[in-house]
Structure 1
């Protein structure tokens, strides 16, 4: 055995005798926002953990990172630096690689806040407002553009006579309006026409993203971000 081989063999024996553990790479992917239903927030609630050791992975996921006070704010911003610090404190031998967001907006949702008949009343109220509001908007638009006069003039030009009551143009216009709304919003009851997200879902997602970014930036400016 040459000198290099003897050195490697001796180093292996030394590591085995001292309980040396090879440094492991842990990948941390944080979400931009997370909702929890308990006051205690754990690492698994706000991020994904990946490593080769399943025992180490489970240990890291169980790290408690924050506790919402009962009478305090229900929202906080946690920096990934705090998460890395807590992980390295529990397991000093790991090498954490952050591959996701750098800040996480965590919100504590009280599950008992809206239950039973209150939730049904709210849903019914929203449905009524949406139905009558949409109907009024369509009628007001038709009144502004004079849709009845347009239909009457088109019928007179095509048929050479005055329309008597409900005519074909009004029927097909109503059917086309309903079909256009269904195709645009990509919904028929609870079923989708395609797998693509609807325009409403895209707008809501963009709105939520803008709100999350604004809250995170505001917490950073006010010094409320948890970094250590």
Structure 2
């Protein structure tokens, strides 16, 4: 017996197209020093164009590859049974007219949504009523409330999303980041269940 090897597959790994994914990239390894460097260099998967964007590697495939090189090792697995390989292709540069067009579309759409909401809840009438309560006068355009409210609305959105452009205000995740994390978890689970060929058995399989 050469020794005990502990392997923990990473949840996901990002690699470039047509690259070779090694065990050292795919997993965390605890092993005797004599075999550790050799284990890390074991090739697990060769990325090909047919793989497209995502490849799921099962832990049984990893164990099989290790035993090809070190048949006498005692392999102990910890953590997830699958690892997702995300193939990253070179991104095409976005044209300036397209960027401006999308930005304007989002800006106008968000502005229309806010204005329609304010119209539905009669926000102007609310401001007029508040102005009358505070000052005792009638004003069809109570800018004393409308201007601070407009600035407060923008500040509230910044605090809610916890970002100013790319700068994070604090370490607490925003609700949008939490929702994106939950979506990514569900997406990864779907990929593992439907793209992992090792976990699928059909009637016509041998």
Q: Normalising TM by the smaller chain, what interval?
A: 0.7 to 0.9
Please identify, of 193-202 and 145-154, the stretch whose mean Cα deviation from structure 2 is larger: 193-202
The verdict on how the C-alpha distance between 1:216 and 1:170 changes in structure 2, with shifts beyond 3 A counting, is same
Q: What secondary structure is seen at the aligned counterpart in 2 of 1:104?
A: strand
Work out whether 1:47 is the aligned partner of 2:59. no
Superposition misfits of 4+ residues, deviation over 6 angstroms:
none
**Does the CA contact (< 8 Å) of 1:68 and 1:74 recur in 2?**
no
Work out whether 1:68 is the aligned partner of 2:47. yes
The verdict on how the C-alpha distance between 1:215 and 1:179 changes in structure 2, with shifts beyond 3 A counting, is same
Match of 1:196 among 165, 172, 182: 172
Q: Deviations over 1:72-120 (max 9, x none)?
A: 5443222101101211221123222211210122232222xx233x266
| Equivalent residue number for residue 4 of structure 1 | none
**Does the CA contact (< 8 Å) of 1:84 and 1:96 recur in 2?**
yes
**What pairs with 1:160-179 in structure 2 (closer than 5 Å)?**
160-163=136-139, 165-179=141-155
Please identify, of 214-223 and 32-41, the stretch whose mean Cα deviation from structure 2 is larger: 214-223
| Equivalent residue number for residue 115 of structure 1 | 92
Per the TM alignment, residue 185 of structure 1 is displaced from its structure 2 partner at its CA by 1.0
TM-score normalized by structure 2?
Answer: 0.84
Gaps of 5+ in 2: none
**What pairs with 1:28-43 in structure 2 (closer than 5 Å)?**
28-39=7-18, 40-43=20-23
| Equivalent residue number for residue 12 of structure 1 | none
Structure 2 distance, partners of 1:164, 1:149, is 9
| Equivalent residue number for residue 157 of structure 2 | 181
Please give the root-mean-square deviation of Cα atoms over the aligned residues, in Å. 2.4
Larger Rg belongs to: 1
Q: What secondary structure is seen at the aligned counterpart in 1 of 2:49?
A: coil
**Does the CA contact (< 8 Å) of 1:36 and 1:45 recur in 2?**
no
TM-score normalized by structure 1?
Answer: 0.76
**Does the CA contact (< 8 Å) of 2:11 and 2:83 recur in 1?**
yes
Per the TM alignment, residue 124 of structure 1 is displaced from its structure 2 partner at its CA by 4.5
Gaps of 5+ in 1: 1-21
Structure 2 distance, partners of 1:122, 1:98, is 48
Count of residue pairs brought into register by the alignment: 199
